[in-house]
Amino acid sequence: MKRFDAKHCDSPAALLASLTEIVPDVIVTDPASAVGESGLLEEVHRRYYRLPIVVVVGGAEVETIVECVKRGAYDVVDERKAAEKLPDVLEKAAEEHRLMVEIDQLQDAYKRKGRFGDRLVGVSPPMHRIYEIIARVAKTDSSVFLTGESGTGKELVAHTLHDLSPRAGVGRIVCLNCATIPRDLLESELFGHEKGAFTGADSRHIGRCEQAHMGTLFLDEISDMDLALQAKVLRFLEERSFSRVGGTDLIAVDTRVVAAANRDPWEEVKRGRLREDLYYRLNVVPIVLPPLRDRPEDIPVLAEHFLAFYGEKHDKYFWDFSPEAMRMMLCYRWPGNVRELRNTIERIVVLATSDTVTADLLPEHMQEAGRKGDVPKLAVEEALRCVQSALRPGTAPSEARPAAADEEVLPLDEVEKRAIMAAVKKYEGNLSKAARQLGLSRATLYRKLGKYDIK
């Protein structure tokens, strides 16, 4: 059992005053203070939304105990069993609080450094390495081969490569999943066909290669393409021209090609499913997307991102994830990767009837994984180190502006306080909109309102 440093406060007022100096990991109090005239539970949670409060009861009425739970007590412990139960309850509450404070810090940092382009989200070292590769290769016309398990975000990377390229202003990205088109139709879908080229070809069809002229062509699951058609794709890559099915004219296009596969492409070559010469032609710049289980430090920021997105889409407001829900998500292995996480959060948003995502809203198999697993706390700490390292250089020169000689220089806390007050006033007390405008998580804004005593 861990040892705790304890501080005794004579009254709820003294405790509230002490919170301006130090925020504990857990508060222990009696029911009279918790739900009495001082309203300790509500006042503490107004200032520090996540701070757990354990109420020790002795002979209290059932109604009082129920009221403590309703007002947000972390746990209620009978004083006759306190010697046995209280240490374990305190240890669990303190550990969850410390974890969620770190996750809050991670969310704040993510607002500044956890996104790349308009589509990619992640703070883990593997994702930052991928961002660096994308930034370097996006400005070129080199072919890129994306590999990674299903659901890791290969199409999002392809879109980001296009968005950050000079082609974004003159052409578009055209996507083709080779696994979803029947093999006898795939050539026509790729290169197009002339009228009468085959039964049912009642008019000319412009294929994806031609649609992607001056833009980017994304070929997903390319190893599912017939080997004979792979040879034609190789010729297209070499000559940058092709003929439509049933036609003889050569059509020249300026297209950048990005390919993807959810299996190791070299293994596909050895199995005879992918031509070796095509592999080398496409694999000029390889990018391997890691599965979510290998970057669990991205789970909190991705979950927050999807919660905000789907909450706004379905016109629902959420404070955050409960500590237990976040713990279970961190324990789960996510075989479906980011796509599974996104779908899980959308399901939660649709079904939830409260403003907090609690553990019972997670699918049963995730709850089971959470009951069996331990929180990979090191993953959260690694994410914090990663973001802090990225932020260490400070404000970019282009963003900095020296103060004029007669311009008032305010302490950072005062600047932050004024910004929060302005946002709350602008949105007439709507904390969700204010938090979004300030680039803060809702829980962090709630905590800062308490810190600066903003009503």
Q: Is the confidence at residue 34, as pLDDT, over 50?
A: yes
Find out whether 375 and 99 touch, Cβ atoms under 8 Å.
yes
Percent of the chain with pLDDT over 90: 40
Q: Pick the range with the lowest mean pLDDT from 64-68, 229-233, 283-287.
A: 64-68
Tell me which residue has tokens 């000029």.
284
Classify residue 65 by burial, with Cβ atoms within 10 Å: 0-12, 13-18, 19+: middle
- Residue 126 neighbours by CB under 8 Å, 6+ apart: 290, 294, 295
pLDDT given for residue 33 in this prediction: 86
Alpha-carbon dihedral angle through residues 372, 377, 383, 389, given to the nearest 10 degrees = -160
Pairing of strands 356-357, 192-193: unpaired
Res 337 pLDDT > 90: yes
CB 232 within 8 A of CB 191: yes
Lowest mean pLDDT among 11-15, 20-24, 127-131: 20-24
Answer with the residue of higher pLDDT: 304 or 400: 304
CA-to-CA distance for 257 and 242, rounded, in angstroms?
14
CA distances from 109 to 100, 221, 359 (A): 14, 35, 25
Instruction: Tell me the pLDDT tens digit for each residue of 41-97.
Output: 888 877 776 788 999 888 667 777 888 888 888 888 888 888 888 888 888 888 878
CATH for 293-391 (3.20.20.20, 1.10.8.60, 3.30.450.20, 3.40.50.970): 1.10.8.60
Least confident range of 31-40, 105-114, 433-442? 105-114
Domains 12-92 and 125-289 share a fold: yes
Residue 158 in contact with residue 216, Cβ under 8 Å? yes
Rounded CA-CA distance 2/91 in Å is 7
Q: What is the pLDDT of residue 266?
A: 93
Give residue 406's pLDDT band: very low, low, confident or very high (50, 70, 90): very low
Report the pLDDT averaged over residues 377-391: 51
- What average pLDDT does the segment 303-328 reach? 85
Predicted local distance difference test score (pLDDT) of residue 405: 43
Question: What CA–CA distance (Å, rounded) separates 32 from 21?
Answer: 24
Q: What's the pLDDT at 2? A: 62
Confidence of residue 382 (pLDDT cuts 50, 70, 90): low
* Average pLDDT along the chain: 83
Lowest-pLDDT range of 181-185, 240-244, 256-260: 181-185
Q: How far apart are CA 67 and CA 88, in angstroms?
A: 23
Task: Name the residue type at position 222.
Answer: I
Span 412-451: which CATH code? Answer: 1.10.10.60
Share of the chain above pLDDT 70, in %: 84
Mean of pLDDT values over 363-384: 69
Superfamily of domain 125-289: P-loop containing nucleotide triphosphate hydrolases (3.40.50.300)
Q: Is residue 246 scored above 50 in pLDDT?
A: yes
* 12-92 CATH fold: Rossmann fold (3.40.50)
Which pTM was predicted? Answer: 0.65
Residue 291 has pLDDT above 90, yes or no: yes
Q: Where are the domains of the chain?
A: 12-92, 125-289, 293-391, 412-451
According to DSSP, the β-strands at 192-193 and 205-206 are antiparallel
Query: Distance (Å, rounded) from C-alpha 33 to C-alpha 166?
Result: 64
Instruction: Please return the burial class of 40, using the count of CB atoms within 10 Å of its CB with bins 0-12, 13-18 and 19+.
Output: buried
The answer on pLDDT for 248 being more than 60 is: yes
Question: What's the 3-state SS for 234-278?
Answer: HHHHHHCEECCECCCCCEECCCEEEEEECCCHHHHHHCCCCCHHH
- Three-class DSSP category at 385: helix
pLDDT at 13 over 60: yes
pLDDT (mean) for 406-433: 69
> Longest C-alpha distance within the chain, in Å?
93
